[in-house]
Amino acid sequence: MIIVEYRRSEVVAILERAGYREEAEEALRVLPDPVDLDRLAAWGQEHGITRDGLISRLGGSS
């Protein structure tokens, strides 16, 4: 099994760039470093943040 992990600082930077300022501040406080993809997806779901929503806010298409 392959575990995908991200640095917390990368997650925070993406959230800030997408306009999720409050969520970025919370992520900095509560997410581990590094954070695995499953935990990150669950945290995002709790906050109404989806992969497609992030891509859209960053100007891309999914």
Q: CA torsion, points 29, 39, 12, 58, in degrees to nearest 10?
A: -150
User: How many angstroms separate the CA atoms of 34 and 4, rounded?
Assistant: 10
Average pLDDT over residues 9-38: 98
- Residue 13 included in any domain: yes
- Number of domains, the chain: 1
Instruction: Note whether residue 62 is domain-resident.
Output: no
Q: What is the pTM of this model?
A: 0.90
Q: Any residues with CB less than 8 A from the CB of 41 and at least 6 apart, and which?
A: 51
DSSP annotation of 5: E
Least confident window among 2-6, 15-19, 23-27? 2-6
- pLDDT above 70 for 62: no
Average pLDDT over residues 15-35: 98
User: What is the per-residue pLDDT for 60?
Assistant: 86
What is the domain range of residue 33?
A: 5-57
The residue to which tokens 């409050």 are assigned: 22
